Chain A
């Protein structure tokens, strides 16, 4: 690096564009290849009393370019065959799409092998821990993705797990991830966890009691998801084109697609 700049400094000595003397060893040049990219988009998950909903937009970007208007970020995990029939778990990945796909395939293989070896479907919490291990095992060259895993737990309650790229995870009521996470998450905090909402009749001024968060009914949650994304599309250029939604209940996974603005 240093030789590149010093050679072009004004100097009385003549210098030429070819080597006059053997090159002296210097520190190795920095790698020009960067193995990651960001494909934009956003995902979101909310769990209810007996269901979990996971949604993601379908736009894939490279910088200011739109690669495609339909690239799903939601994947069914487990079940039978390549189309994951009868699956009860959904993984959403946002960030670097190639890593997301690799992660999804690894988890799907693990879950299918679990069924082959144990003769029963994996539980969501076991699957969630396995996903954490998959991410953590590659912590020195991480999968550049934010994952959200959803399903229904052993008690029939909606289960939602969110992850960081190196496998740290927790079970939550709701989580937004990806490009528009910072736009959607505060909205969810307020509407799902009722943050900054107080019971008006519970006392004067600062003594008002905060409202308690309750599991939300399915219709409300579906509407929240729609509102979150239509708003995110307005304010974030990497979000748009289509909304893919999966609702997991004890009876299976219901998948829907609805258009978003394409601008």
Chain B
């Protein structure tokens, strides 16, 4: 019998090994006492994959609404798609606090962009000099690269979806190392393994994306969100989806539910759900 009440119900070190607090902040024993505060060395509260597909007149982007704390499904209403303006949406994977920092950065950029000193356009959203998704992606990739070069990375994988200056569909990614690339379909995190192959079947190259309709693009993305929910343990069935279209602008839905799930494959897997034997 253990006589220390605070030890009751806790995993024993001789059975499970010492608890590894490395991901915890300094104040919670995550770092050795007496050492200075360190930069983010690993993400804490995280979002999983972001997916996006270019189609003939725009881009579809989606990410689920879950923010995980390790393996704990901590927050189920975190919206990881951020609308910058009518030409650009950013999807965030990785650390949620870094996402919130970047979101504030985007807000200040938005304010700067619309500051009266830079022009006298009355309707800011119809300004022909509006910052395009391409401009925003270049900016964000510089921010990411600068922070990695300072050994203080923003622990995210970003997708920037939207339109170029000439209103062509645009999709590109930037990650914590400042690596950037662009493709007709992109997926971060687990999605790079699970969703990207499916999306590439639908859209193998730029030509195929120019022939793809909005409906087909949305369908492909929704299908991939479902596959990810089946196989990614850090995902959930509620997600955000945004469509940036050159005709209709941004259409963001924050609380979509996965449809047409089939868990038939799990029927004979023991240890799931309400089975008792």
Q: For the complex, would chain A's binding face be called helix, strand, loop or mixed by DSSP majority?
A: loop
Complex contacts, A204 vs chain B, CB 8 Å: none
Q: Would A17 and B16 count as touching, CB distance under 8 A?
A: yes
In the complex, A16 has a CB within 8 A of chain B: yes
Give a binary string over A64-104; 1 marks a CB under 8 Å from any B CB, 0 the rest. Answer: 01011111000000000000000000000000111001100
C-alpha spacing A102/B178, complex, angstroms:
10
B: interface residue count bin: 35 or more
- The answer to whether the Cβ of B4 comes within 8 Å of any Cβ in the partner chain is yes
User: Across the interface, do A18 and B6 meet the contact criterion of CB distance under 8 Å?
Assistant: yes
Is B148 in contact with chain A by the CB < 8 A criterion? yes
B32 in the interface (beta carbon within 8 A) = yes
Given A14-B2, A70-B183, A101-B180; A8-B14 close (CB under 8 Å):
yes
* Cβ A4 vs Cβ B149 within 8 A: no
Contact at B31–A98, with CB atoms within 8 Å?
no
Q: A25-B33, A69-B205 are in contact. Are A7 and B153 (CB under 8 A)?
A: no
Indicate whether B18 reaches chain A with its CB closer than 8 angstroms.
yes
Known contacts A4-B18, A16-B4; A25/B32 CB under 8 A:
yes
Q: Is A29 an interface residue (CB 8 A)?
A: yes
User: Which chain B residues border A26 with CB–CB below 8 Å?
Assistant: 32
Asked if residues B192 and A65 are in contact (CB atoms below 8 Å), the reply is yes
A26-B7 Cα distance, complex, nearest whole Å: 25
Q: List residues of chain B with CB within 8 A of the CB of A35.
A: 148-149, 151, 153, 177
Chain A residues with Cβ under 8 A from B33's Cβ?
22-23, 25
Say whether B42 contacts A32, CB under 8 Å.
yes
What's the nearest-Cβ distance from chain A to residue B197, in Å?
A: 10
A31 B179 Cβ-Cβ under 8 A: no
Interface string of B36-63 (1 = CB under 8 A from A): 0001111000000000000000000000
**Cα separation A29 to B18 with both chains bound (whole Å):** 16
Q: A8-B17, A33-B151, A68-B181 are in contact. Are A18 and B10 (CB under 8 A)?
A: yes
Report whether B19 and A17 are in contact in the complex, using a CB–CB cutoff of 8 Å. yes
B148 & A16 in contact (Cβ 8 Å cutoff): no
- Bound form: Cα–Cα A101–B144 in Å: 13
Instruction: Determine the distance from Cα of A60 to Cα of B7 in the docked complex, in whole angstroms.
Output: 50
Q: Is A10 an interface residue (CB 8 A)?
A: yes
> Is B183 in contact with A17, judged by CB distance below 8 angstroms?
no
A35 to B145 CA separation, bound complex (whole angstroms): 10
Chain B residues with CB below 8 A from A36, complex form: 177
A123 to chain B minimum Cβ distance, whole angstroms, is 30
Q: Which A3-24 residues have C-beta < 8 A from chain B? A: 3-4, 7-8, 10-11, 14-19, 22-23
Q: Determine if A141 is an interface residue (Cβ-Cβ < 8 Å).
A: yes
- Complex CA gap A28/B32 in Å reads 7
A68 contacts B183, C-beta separation under 8 Å:
yes
Decide if A3 touches B18 in the complex (CB within 8 Å): yes
Query: What is the distance, in angstroms, from B174's C-beta to the closest C-beta of chain A?
Result: 9
Q: Which residues of B contact A96 (CB under 8 A)?
A: 177, 179
A37 at the interface (CB under 8 A from B): yes
Shortest Cβ distance from residue B156 to the other chain A in the assembled complex, whole angstroms: 13
Q: Compute how far the CA of A31 lies from the CA of B40 in the bound complex, rounded to whole angstroms.
A: 10
A28 to B35, CA, bound (A): 7
Option from A31, A67, A69, A102 in Cβ contact (under 8 Å) with B41: A31
What are the residues of chain A within 8 A of B178 when measuring CB–CB? 98, 102
Name the residue on B nearest A71 (C-beta): B181
Interface hub of B13, B153, B206 (most chain A Cβ within 10 A): B13
Q: A17-B19, A25-B32 are in contact. Are A39 and B179 (CB under 8 A)?
A: yes
Q: Mark A22-64, 1 if CB is under 8 A from B, else 0.
A: 1101101101110111010000000000000000000010100
Q: CB distance B14 to A98 under 8 Å?
A: no
The 10 closest A-B pairs by CB, nearest first: A7-B18, A17-B19, A98-B178, A68-B183, A8-B17, A32-B41, A15-B13, A25-B34, A68-B181, A67-B181
Interface residues of A (CB under 8 A from B): 3-4, 7-8, 10-11, 14-19, 22-23, 25-26, 28-29, 31-33, 35-37, 39, 60, 62, 65, 67-71, 96-98, 101-102, 141
30 A-B pairs in the complex with CB atoms less than 8 angstroms apart: A8-B18, A11-B14, A14-B14, A15-B18, A16-B7, A17-B19, A18-B7, A18-B19, A19-B29, A25-B34, A26-B32, A28-B35, A29-B41, A31-B151, A33-B153, A35-B148, A35-B153, A37-B177, A37-B179, A62-B179, A65-B192, A67-B183, A68-B181, A68-B182, A70-B183, A97-B180, A98-B141, A101-B180, A102-B178, A141-B149
Given contact pairs A33-B39, A68-B183, A98-B141, a sample of 12 additional A-B residue pairs in the complex whose CB atoms are under 8 Å apart: A7-B18, A8-B17, A10-B14, A14-B12, A15-B12, A18-B19, A19-B29, A23-B29, A29-B41, A35-B151, A62-B179, A67-B181
